[in-house]
Amino acid sequence: MILILIGYMASGKSTLGRILAKKLNYEFLDLDDYIETNEKSTISDIFKTDGEIYFRKKETHYLRELLESKNNLVLSLGGGTPCYSNNMELILSANHTKSIYLKASIPTLITRLKNEKSKRPLIAHIETDELLAEFIGKHLFERSQFYSLANTTVTTDNKTESHIVEELILQLF
């Protein structure tokens, strides 16, 4: 089984994915890390050098590759992955996957993102919390139609990592 974590950047996909995988004795993979390893370049550099369209094509390519895995796997996707190239359709049509939307509020996301903007190419240029809130709100509005297609949703606001992982396990099994 492949458990796929989706949600906006900083919603906890990688952090919670690692904990969930360890608890279930599954392998953990972060799609962005997998792309960086295979492309021998950082996501930021891929965006700068080749552009977002190139990145999104590679992202779909590697997602397809991982969806063919027969291993027990927790896969953390990038925030935009479900929204491009029919990726959400690929995820939902695979018969050995369960998708989980990790839903975080705009204030939670601002708190998590404001100190790591330099590592996030889509928000690196945003200077104030107000502009960041506006950007996140717009993105969530656009992306929520894809995120909401997940098999299950878990809200992460004001919960500990262990509480969220327990909630995930209860909903999945």
**Average pLDDT for runs of 10 along the chain of length 173:** 95 96 97 96 90 94 93 94 95 94 95 82 86 94 96 95 95 86
Q: Is 12 annotated as a binding residue?
A: yes
> Span 2-172: which CATH code?
3.40.50.300
Q: Tell me whether residue 79 is annotated as binding.
A: yes
pLDDT value of residue 118? 73
Q: Determine whether the annotation assigns residue 56 to a binding site.
A: yes
Report the pLDDT value the prediction gives residue 43, as an integer from 0 to 100: 87
Q: Is 45 annotated as a binding residue?
A: no
Is 153 marked as binding a ligand?
Answer: no
pTM: 0.92
pLDDT at 121: 72
At position 151, the amino acid (one-letter code) is: N
User: Does the annotation list 105 as a binding residue?
Assistant: no
**Residue 11 annotated as lining a ligand binding site:** yes
What letter does residue 78 receive in the DSSP assignment?
P
Determine whether the annotation assigns residue 14 to a binding site: yes
| 80 annotated ligand-binding residue | no
23 assigned ligand-binding residue: no
**Virtual torsion, Cα 157, 44, 6, 74, nearest 10 deg:** -110
Kind of pairing between the strands at 97-103 and 73-76: unpaired
- Is 120 marked as a binding-site residue? yes
* Per-residue pLDDT, 125: 85
Residue 127 backbone phi and psi in degrees, to 5:
-95, -30
| Residues 15, 168 contacting (CB under 8 angstroms) | no
Is 77 in a helix, a strand, or coil? coil
Angstrom distance (rounded) from CA 74 to CA 91: 13
The pair phi, psi for residue 11, each rounded to 5°, is -80, -10
